[in-house]
Chains A and B, each alone.
Chain A
Amino acid sequence: MSGDSRLLGFWYVLPYLIGLLVFTAIPFLGSLYLSFTDYRLMQGMDFVGLQNYTDILTSDRTFTRSFKVTMLFVALTVPLKLAFALFIASILNAKLKGIGFFRTAYYVPSILGGSIAVAVLWRYMFADVGMVNMILTGLGFKAINWFGNPGTALFTITILRLWQFGSAMVIFLAALQSIDKSLYEAAAIDGAKPWRAFFAVTLPLLTPVIFFNLIMQMVQAFQEFNGPYVITGGGPLKSTYLLPLYIYEMAFKKFDMGYASAIAWVLFAVIMVLTLLAFWSSKYWVYYAGDKRS
């Protein structure tokens, strides 16, 4: 029986193994190989060594620009989103009537946010004669040329992603609700004011969840495509030309797939380094209650 069932389990996961090899593992290594070639679709392929990488890092000004914009976008979007999600989650974390209603209302944008329809909505909301400018002029402010200005164009995409803070908030809220209330009573008896209790009790206990949300949101933000593609088209002056957009155009418009693979690997390397950095630094700031090993 045991020998039989040893192979039995293997048969059940076989579909996954096939899919993993064909659609993930081989393409993964294939793209690394491609990045060392000058492969173009329908044309030959020559091994060019590190040529693509040296070009990217030394002479490709579009890459430099795109890289800076991507870092700026991630550095702006991820912390703001986490802070806002945590802020709303801690306001929701009280004996409130209608908590379910608010939670649902805040979660709806996360459900819809990835949709092209919402990107289209954003494009029209922030247009010159769009709803946002009409509200601004109605309140006596000047209308803003959102898409004409490099600074504000990127900001509209950041706002779109901030708008989707719901999924991070739901995770924060679940973590907040699982914190033992007696810890706050103990803090109050010791004379701690609420804000002091937040920094001394709540925040340390939330660090594992902050860590999880940070990684997930960061990996997601580095791959942002729909927003810039639909809302701004990468402009003006490439100020919203994020790396995934550059990779897409290089690979599927110019069919320069070797070079595009090299850019993808640079992006992947950046994500990996930052993820590993987060994991490495986590032992200094992530607190696991009851875990003596760390």
Chain B
Amino acid sequence: MSDSIIHSDDKAFEEAQKYLAVQKRRQNITLAIRYTILTVVGLIMLYPLFWLIGASFMTNEEIFGSAGFMPANPVMDGYIEGWQTSTPYTFGRFFWNTFLIIAPKTICTVISCTVVAYGFARFDFPGKKILFAAVIGTLLLPNVVTRIPQYMLFNELGWLDSYLPLWVPSAFAGDAFFVFLLLQFLRSIPRDMEEAARVDGATSFQALIYVVVPMLVPAMISVGLFQFMWTMDDFLGPLIYISSVEKFPVSLALKLSIDTAESFEWNRILAMSVLTLLPSLLVFFMSQKYFVEGISAGGVKG
């Protein structure tokens, strides 16, 4: 009798093992399918970028000759000639112009949005609910309905063909998304230290500068990085407001280059496209590291 029990136990054990093996194999197969799809899709997705970089080091004959992305004999022609552009200015000028827009815009965004988010997060005041509803409302408001009167306003102020229309609205915390983002961060920071500072006689502004800002730095940096990348990409704003070539940012300069005779010189335009994408790519990879650090630091602090 005990024999048969042992026997059936063995059988059950064997069957269980067989079942587990089947399960394991099934898991391995799904895993292999997952990896295959991810790799194929990833390659298709990134191929245009590989091709862009590769082609920027080719001669035009080679670009038109094959769909491959590895240049047979890498040449810098595209970069050297593209940098000169068909205008009296080099691409360096256009990068400098872009910087002249990005620097004030990013700095003003970070400062104004931090101050405003602090006001929303830490104080009660009459009309707060309505104003906060406006923050949420403008998140979804399509810019298309405000653009024309804004243009007329800046025209009245004599700001056309200057960078002011591109960054002054941001100095008034105009990008509701960033106010919202900083507000979320502020809500997760305990108030104890600010209250201690206030008890010790600090004003609310001193509490902001010496207590809140140091804790908010990671969030402020990510706001700055996002604003940097978005401003780098902005095209419609400069297109509407900037009319003289000497003031063009890179986005307009690139559009200009495909409209002129240069458009047949693919390698020049592709090379300048690579340079245009480079700052955003660098910032993205830097910020990725920063985000990871910020998250883990936050985790350690609890």
Which positions in A face B, CB cutoff 8 Å?
Answer: 5-13, 15-20, 22-28, 30-32, 34, 41, 88, 91-92, 94, 96, 102, 104-106, 108-109, 111-112, 114-118, 120-125, 129, 131, 134-135, 138, 163, 215, 219, 222-223, 225-226, 229-230, 244, 247-248, 251-252, 257, 260-261, 264-265, 267-268, 271, 275
A22 to B174, CA, bound (A): 10
A115 to B152, CA, bound (A): 27
A106 CB contact (under 8 Å) in B45, B55, B135, B274: B45
Q: B66, A11: Cβ atoms under 8 Å?
A: no
Q: B172, A116: Cβ atoms under 8 Å?
A: no
Q: B233, A125: Cβ atoms under 8 Å?
A: no
Interface residues of B in 263-295 (CB under 8 A from A): 266, 269-270, 272-274, 276-277, 280-281, 284, 288
Q: B140, A34: Cβ atoms under 8 Å?
A: no
Number of A-B contacts (CB under 8 A): 227
Say if the beta carbon of B89 comes within 8 Å of chain A: no
A91 to B272, CA, bound (A): 36
Q: A251, B151: Cβ atoms under 8 Å?
A: yes
Interface residues of B in 109-143 (CB under 8 A from A): 112, 115-116, 118-120, 122-128, 131, 134-135, 138, 140-143
A106 to B284, CA, bound (A): 13
* Chain B positions 241 through 267: 1 when the CB is less than 8 Å from some CB of chain A, otherwise 0: 000000000110011001000000010
The distance from the CB of B262 to the nearest CB of chain A, in whole angstroms, is: 12
* Known interface pairs A5-B204, A6-B126, A138-B67; A13-B284 also in contact (CB < 8 Å): no
Task: Beyond A115-B251, A129-B64, list 12 extra A-B contacts (CB 8 Å).
Answer: A5-B123, A6-B126, A7-B125, A11-B119, A16-B173, A22-B172, A23-B172, A24-B174, A88-B41, A116-B235, A120-B273, A131-B67
Which positions in B face A, CB cutoff 8 Å?
Answer: 30-31, 34-35, 37-38, 41-42, 45-46, 48-49, 51-52, 55, 64, 66-67, 112, 115-116, 118-120, 122-128, 131, 134-135, 138, 140-153, 155, 169, 171-174, 179, 204, 229-230, 232-233, 235-236, 240, 250-251, 254-255, 258, 266, 269-270, 272-274, 276-277, 280-281, 284, 288
Main secondary structure of the interface of A (DSSP, over half): helix
Q: A27, B153: Cβ atoms under 8 Å?
A: yes
Q: B31, A96: Cβ atoms under 8 Å?
A: yes
Q: B233, A15: Cβ atoms under 8 Å?
A: no
Q: B116, A12: Cβ atoms under 8 Å?
A: yes
Q: A106, B67: Cβ atoms under 8 Å?
A: no
Q: Which 8 A-B pairs have the closest CB atoms?
A: A9-B123, A19-B172, A12-B119, A30-B149, A27-B149, A134-B67, A117-B273, A9-B125
Q: A268, B142: Cβ atoms under 8 Å?
A: yes
Chain A residues positioned under 8 Å from B128 (CB to CB): 9, 13
A-B CB contact pairs (8 Å), 29 listed:
A5-B204, A9-B122, A10-B123, A12-B115, A12-B116, A13-B116, A13-B131, A16-B173, A17-B131, A26-B149, A28-B141, A28-B145, A31-B148, A91-B38, A106-B42, A108-B281, A111-B280, A112-B49, A115-B232, A115-B277, A120-B255, A121-B270, A124-B266, A125-B48, A129-B64, A131-B55, A230-B255, A230-B258, A251-B151
B143 CB contact (under 8 Å) in A11, A34, A223: A223
The distance from the CB of B223 to the nearest CB of chain A, in whole angstroms, is: 15
